[in-house]
Structure 1
Amino acid sequence: MVPIVRCGTGPPDPRFAPTDSDRGEAMITLRGLTKRYGETTAVRDLSLDVLPGRVTGFLGPNGAGKSTTMRMILGLDRPSAGEALICGRPYATLRNPLRRVGALLDAKAVHPARSARAHLLAMARSNGIPARRVGEVLDAVGLASVARRRVGTFSLGMSQRLGIAGALLGDPEVLLFDEPVNGLDPDGVRWVRELARSLAGEGRTVLVSSHLMSEMQLTADQLIVIGKGRLLADAPIADMLGGSSRSRVVVRSPDMERLRALADALAADRSTVERISGHELAVRDGSVERVGDLAHRLAVPLHGLEERTASLEQAYMELTADSVEYGTAAALEGRV
């Protein structure tokens, strides 16, 4: 294996030294990052840290600025303002960058006449990576049997696997994946999920952009959500789900009179209470323990008490409702 080069290895460059006390932990640091194309601002004053040891999901509607942000992190686009740093440095200043950062942005951005092995071997030679590593990553992504086939004959799913092999080639500490499960079958989707979590479990920094909410809910530990180029949320996934208005405590009782008294007491304590049916209430801003204790004090007989957490799709749609560039009327009204 190629040794992992971690932040802090080698002398720091004073031109790019972090200024905030907590920035030493972050592998990816964005400060005031902005990108304009003429009159259009694709990314606007984006500041955040992406930390190691977790899978960070990067979410947002089409046109939100996710791909542009990733391209600026990798030095492919120049910021109009602000900075994007990896280990406190711009990507362009890193030596042997594939040993520091692995990325999959466009699975089809490979010369179609090259074989998978030739493509990876060229990447390895240009970054001082041993040739044996090519075989290792081809095995890891399941492409060893087609290593000498021309990439132009690959399906989208095979191309995704090759792109992931390229990202893993230098055994980097930081990995960026843009829509890595496109074109993959369910087994491949699960493989990407397990790979991302395994890499994060090794202490690496893993940033994954995706539109597949159900998969992000299973994969991510932290979520960054942007809309129209602005930061909308940066929080653990549990906080994102718990903070949704779709998350609630549902209480059910056969005694409608006592249930009404419980609803009044919860409302007086600044909880939002909705009647689902004659015998069932939905309580926002309240925990199961709080509602249960209050029901006990009021002698409310309970036939049901449960916490219903919003799905990531519900929480995401609620958060980005005002940031969708191309949305149907029904979706914008929350009916879809």
Structure 2
Amino acid sequence: MIEARGLTKRYGAKTAVDDLSFTVRPGSVTGFLGPNGAGKSTTMRLLLGLDRPTSGEARVGGKRYREHRAPLREVGALLEARAVHPGRSARAHLLALARTEGIPARRVDEVIELVGLTGVARKRVGGFSLGMGQRLGIATALLGDPAVVMLDEPVNGLDPDGVLWIRTLLKGLAAEGRAVLVSSHLMSEMAQTADHLVVVGRGKLLADTSVTELTARTQDAAVTVRSPQAARLAVLLRGVGARSTTTGGADRLEVHGATAAQVGEVAGRHGVVLHELHARTSTLEEAYMALTRDSREYRTDDGARTDGDQPDGTAAEGAAR
């Protein structure tokens, strides 16, 4: 289990993490989301003891990271996949780490096979592609067969087959009873992978909930209705406080301010024929964008806030360091 309690980290006048509390429980994949500069990478560094919190505490497996006598066996982490000596082979890198904690060489070969690097295990890491580097980083995280796994943007550089592989891997790790925390900017992937979400913005907790609950809570519900009497139905709906716009043809309306059941009841009372009626479910991306609208560090020329092009924290957290 991962526990953050009142975590705060300041770099001079910059507060990167602000009184952040959440729990990552065993048996589930928790997505860690937030715009660039939100404090995700700093939080992960605090959890791993790489940075000292200004206040609050972080515990992994019931202890602070530095209190674990064999940390690789307790916590597996990927923060920077390229943090490997380029002159070493993938197998040599993993073997060196394994020897620090008495992990047998056969485990090195197991994780190399698990991540699909068997064919290049003895090649120098400096020649690896971004995707191969990501796979090596994941192998490093899994080397000690840890109960807790933390991965920062693990799908970066992976092709579609690789994305499917990491999704299956993460779900499998959680099914084995491990606590899995994974950050990502790919909302569509998080929607398919995560059981739970922790969303942060400007260092503060914005949401600690399931994907279903987040989309239900933040969506601007819309109902699509198709009828040969669409114009009449639009007038009737205005009478009950709903608003509608024509979309995709004169017979099709998108309705806001009324549920599908309410639209159907209005149509039924007034004898309006319906050919189609369904509620449009908000996507995770839409819910996330609505939730983080006021928490993004970067703006486009028209003044709208937007995510930056840099990896998480490069501009805000990196500058603060």
What TM-score results when the alignment is normalised by the length of structure 2?
0.87
Indicate the residue corresponding to 1:309 in structure 2: 281
**Residue 68 (structure 2) pairs with residue 98 (structure 1):** no
CA contact (8 A) 1:96 1:128 kept: no
> Which stretch of the first structure deviates more once superposed, 239-248 or 112-121?
239-248
Q: Does 1:140 align with 2:114?
A: yes
In structure 1, runs of 5+ residues without a counterpart are: 1-26
What corresponds to 1:11 in structure 2?
none
Unaligned runs of at least 5 residues, structure 2: 307-321
Equivalent in the alignment of 1:211: 185
Asked if residue 292 in structure 1 is aligned to residue 264 in structure 2, the reply is yes
1:57/1:222 contact within 8 Å kept = yes
**How far apart are residue 247 of structure 1 and its match?**
3.7
Deviations 1:172-192 (A, max 9, x none): 111111011111112111111
* Change beyond 3 A, Cα 1:254–1:298: same
Task: Indicate if the aligned counterparts of 1:253 and 1:259 stay in contact, CA closer than 8 A.
Answer: no
Q: Is the 8 A contact 2:111 2:143 kept in 1?
A: yes
Q: CA RMSD in A?
A: 2.1
- Residues 190/143 of structure 1: CA separation in 2 closer, same or farther (3 Å cut): same
Mapped partners of 1:234, 1:291: distance in 2:
33
**Retained in 2: the 8 A contact 1:32–1:81?**
yes
Distance 1:124 1:285, change over 3 A: farther
Output aligned runs, 1:1-336, within 5 Å.
27-255=1-229, 256-265=231-240, 267=241, 273-276=243-246, 279-284=251-256, 286-293=258-265, 295-330=267-302, 332=304
* Structure 1 position 234, deviation (Å): 1.6
In 1, distance between residues paired with 2:23 and 2:150? 14
Instruction: Tell me, in whole angstroms, the C-alpha distance in 2 between the residues paired with 1:65 and 1:313.
Output: 19
Contact 2:29 2:174 in 1 (8 A): yes
Asked whether the 8 Å contact 2:296–2:305 carries over to 1, the reply is no
Give the conservation status (yes or no) of the 8 Å contact 1:254–1:279: yes
Moved more, 62-71 or 149-158: 149-158
Aligned length: 303
**How far 1:280 sits from its partner (Å)?**
4.5
Q: What SS does the corresponding residue of 1:47 show, helix, strand or coil?
A: strand
Residues in 1 aligned to 2:256 and 2:104: alpha-carbon distance in whole angstroms: 57
Distance 1:201 1:94, change over 3 A: same
SS in 2 for 1:231: strand
User: Relative to structure 2, which stretch is displaced further, 81-90 or 235-244?
Assistant: 235-244
Offset, 1:311: 2.5
| Deviation larger for 147-156 or 237-246 | 237-246
CA apart distance, 1:260:
2.8
Q: Deviations over 1:4-29 (max 9, x none)?
A: xxxxxxxxxxxxxxxxxxxxxxx111
Residue 245 of structure 1, CA deviation: 3.7
Residue 299 of structure 2 aligns to a residue in which SS?
Answer: coil
Q: Are 1:273 and 1:281, in contact at CA under 8 Å, matched by a contact in 2?
A: no
Aligned AA for 1:223? Answer: L
The equivalent residue for 2:311 is none
- Which secondary structure state, in structure 2, belongs to the residue aligned with residue 243 of structure 1? helix
Evaluate the alpha carbon distance shift between residue 250 and residue 157 of structure 1 in structure 2; reply closer, same or farther with a 3 A threshold: same
CA distance in 1, matches of 2:265, 2:100: 65
2:312 corresponding residue in structure 1: none
Matched residues in 1 for 2:268 and 2:236: separation?
12
CA contact (8 A) 2:294 2:305 kept: no
- With structure 1 as the length reference, what TM-score do the two structures score? 0.83
CA distance in 2, matches of 1:205, 1:289: 40
Q: 2:93 and 2:14 mapped to 1: Cα distance?
A: 36
Could you list the per-position Cα deviations for residues 128-166 of structure 1 after superposition, in whole angstroms to 9, with x for gaps in the alignment? 322210000000111112111121221211111001001
